[in-house]
A and B are shown apart, each in its own frame.
Chain A
Amino acid sequence: MAQDDNRLIAECREGNNAAFGELVARHQDRLFNSVLRLCDNAEDARDVVQEAFLHAYQSLQSFKGDALFFTWLYRIAVNTAISMKRKKRVVLRIQPVGEDGGTIEPLDPSETNRPGHALELAEEERRVHEALAKLSQEHRAVLVMKDMDGMKYEEMADVLGVPIGTIRSRLHRARLEMRDLLLQQEQK
């Protein structure tokens, strides 16, 4: 994967834009799913991912290759998501994922075969997404990186540009806050 990325990056640097298209195709879904949990809705997530790819294209020359391309791209996307959120400064608009015009589909449609399963999944997704949306951007980001993307502290520190100790304490506070929010939901 990394080798293929490096080859595509090299081709792109030589002026082959189609190679960048291939990079987008390879990473868009994974990036979108992470960004989706940092944003309030799929539409914003789409914008962030598109913007991140554009930034990446324009800064490709500065990519040194000492991290994976995806990690580098992820860093751009997280920063874009955080900055977009700051710019918008709107009240959180919690929109169940997938209800914005049916533009996104589950990756594995077979899971939805069982009657009622899709509804249960959607409800569970709504609850977790709603709780995540109430966290600060910093807490939300570390939970998504750790639990969804399975990143190590070191990678997360690299992406967010903070020491490992900060990642650990942010995750600690984020987990406790998330627990309180989910408990409150259950009590309602």
Chain B
Amino acid sequence: MLSSEITELLSAFVDGELNQRQREAVMRLLNKSSEARELLRQLQENAHRIKQLPRHKVEPSLVEAVMQAIAEQKPKPMAAPRPARRRWLPYVAAGLAASLLIGVVSIFAWQAFHEQENHKGNGMPLVKGEEKKPEPTPTPMPEPTPRKPNPLLAQMVEGTFDGFAKLPPPERAFSAPFADLRSEKGVKLADLAREIDRTPAVRLDVTVKNNASAIDRLKDALKDRGINLVIDPSAKKSLNAKGQAKAEYLVYAENLNADELTKLLSELGESYVVPGTNNQKTVESPYKKVTLAPIAQDDKLKVAKLLGVDAAAMEPKAGAKADAKRLAVVLPTSAGSQPSAEVRQLLSQRRPPQPGSVQVLIKIHQE
């Protein structure tokens, strides 16, 4: 009886979606197991039967029907392009709230002061230098009722009042365990998608169980998306060194789309299958936690320096070479005099960040 992991591997083999190592594992398996060979034959044959299903022509053509339906339904006018996101709105709201707060506090403070003076001396504040007039014959006054302190004013004075809009944090940060980003659990997946969607250049601070396996896993996940992750030799050397646990690795990728990056992060939180010598095994994800924030200008400058490119080359620019590749690189551990041959080759095929795409800088470090 073949295990579920094996049958899944065979299914992915039929799909032509295995990497080199996995394909080799399948070939070894097929050499040994007649049951695996039989299942593979059946799966391939069935895939072929679906592929061979006859193609039909739509008769009569749908063009007329669709155009008539468009005309009849008086379709909604083309939606106007969505206005640019009003990122200034929270700041303006916070400013107005702060002004209101100052105004309210001033009014209360003035009233409190005025009342106090009334109690002290007939309601007229003393002007500096003015002499106090002799008091007239005192007339019996009713005992003043002690003023009930205004609780809101007290909170404002103490600084504990939180009824007004809080000022937005200077830098938005989203944080979640990778386990919460998985497709099945996904409690934070929608939040992540929203954050990525609104941030054209994101920095991800990622905690992992093991640096080397995390980068291996990332390489495979990027490869599934047609992106080759180039590892700078200095980073490779560091990953193989004994003290790699203490090092931090920077991965830079560009020209991803927001949806793609969300799915990539979701997938990194999931366990995955690796081929073993005799059997494949399911491995727990090394990815633990991610914190997302916009890339700071300093980060961009650092990436540009490590890549050996001009800082302007980090900014989005329309247009791409015909044979351009998407860039993903584990950056050198330090800025050398010249980038490595691997990085230079990648840069020569690079296309600049396209407007509307996402740039991502991932800082990977062990927990």
Interface bits A115-135 vs B (CB < 8 Å: 1, else 0) = 000000100110011001000
Interface residues of B in 23-56 (CB under 8 A from A): 39, 42-43, 46-47, 49-56
CB pair A49–B58 under 8 Å, yes or no, is yes
CB pair A64–B356 under 8 Å, yes or no, is yes
Q: Which of A20, A33, A176 contacts B70 (CB 8 A)?
A: A20
CB pair A50–B54 under 8 Å, yes or no, is no
A153's closest neighbor in chain B, by CB?
B17
A55's closest neighbor in chain B, by CB?
B75
CB pair B78–A175 under 8 Å, yes or no, is no
CB pair A152–B356 under 8 Å, yes or no, is no
Q: A91 to B263, alpha carbons, bound, how many Å?
A: 35
Interface residues of B in 252-269 (CB under 8 A from A): 257, 259-260, 263, 266-267
Is B79 among interface residues, defined by CB-CB distance under 8 A? yes
CB pair B267–A164 under 8 Å, yes or no, is yes
CB pair B55–A129 under 8 Å, yes or no, is no
Is B84 among interface residues, defined by CB-CB distance under 8 A? no
Is B89 among interface residues, defined by CB-CB distance under 8 A? no
Is B310 among interface residues, defined by CB-CB distance under 8 A? no
Residues of B within 8 A of A53 (CB): 62, 66
Report which residue of A98, A104, A121 has the largest number of chain B beta carbons within 10 angstroms of its beta carbon: A104
A166-B183, A172-B7 given; A132·B50 CB < 8 A: yes
Interface residues of A in 90-118 (CB under 8 A from B): 97-98, 103-108, 111
Shortest A147–chain B CB gap in Å is 4
Is A11 among interface residues, defined by CB-CB distance under 8 A? no
A64-B356, A179-B42, A179-B43 given; A128·B73 CB < 8 A: no
Is B63 among interface residues, defined by CB-CB distance under 8 A? yes
Q: Which of B17, B51, B65, B80 contacts A148 (CB 8 A)?
A: B51
Q: Which of B56, B67, B69, B81 contacts A106 (CB 8 A)?
A: B56
Shortest A136–chain B CB gap in Å is 16
Chain B contact patch, size range: 35 or more
CB pair B53–A105 under 8 Å, yes or no, is no
CB pair A28–B63 under 8 Å, yes or no, is yes
Interface bits A31-72 vs B (CB < 8 Å: 1, else 0) = 011001100001000100110011001101110101000000
Is A146 among interface residues, defined by CB-CB distance under 8 A? yes
Is B342 among interface residues, defined by CB-CB distance under 8 A? no
Interface residues of A in 138-182 (CB under 8 A from B): 143-144, 146-148, 150, 152-154, 157-158, 161-166, 168-169, 171-172, 175-176, 178-179, 182
Is B11 among interface residues, defined by CB-CB distance under 8 A? yes
CB pair B11–A154 under 8 Å, yes or no, is no
Is A25 among interface residues, defined by CB-CB distance under 8 A? yes
Q: A128 to B80, alpha carbons, bound, how many Å?
A: 45
Interface residues of A in 10-28 (CB under 8 A from B): 13, 17, 20-21, 24-25, 28
Residues of A within 8 A of B260 (CB): 158
Count A interface residues, CB 8 Å: 67
Q: A178 to B7, alpha carbons, bound, how many Å?
A: 14
Residues of A within 8 A of B7 (CB): 172, 176
Residues of A within 8 A of B17 (CB): 152-153, 168
Is B102 among interface residues, defined by CB-CB distance under 8 A? no
Interface bits B226-244 vs A (CB < 8 Å: 1, else 0) = 1000000000000000000
A15's closest neighbor in chain B, by CB?
B78
Is B122 among interface residues, defined by CB-CB distance under 8 A? no
CB pair A20–B69 under 8 Å, yes or no, is no
A146-B15, A154-B226, A178-B46 given; A129·B61 CB < 8 A: no
Interface residues of B in 193-231 (CB under 8 A from A): 221, 224-226
CB pair B12–A168 under 8 Å, yes or no, is yes
Residues of B within 8 A of A153 (CB): 15, 17, 224
Residues of B within 8 A of A64 (CB): 356
Q: A17 to B49, alpha carbons, bound, how many Å?
A: 39
CB pair A58–B75 under 8 Å, yes or no, is yes
B221's closest neighbor in chain A, by CB?
A164
CB pair B67–A162 under 8 Å, yes or no, is no
Q: 10 additional contacts, CB 8 Å, given A37-B53, A60-B78?
A: A37-B50, A49-B62, A50-B62, A103-B59, A104-B58, A124-B49, A158-B260, A164-B221, A175-B11, A175-B46
Q: Which B positions have Cβ atoms within 8 angstroms of A?
A: 7-8, 11-12, 14-15, 17, 39, 42-43, 46-47, 49-63, 65-67, 69-70, 73, 75-76, 78-81, 183, 221, 224-226, 257, 259-260, 263, 266-267, 270, 272, 356-357
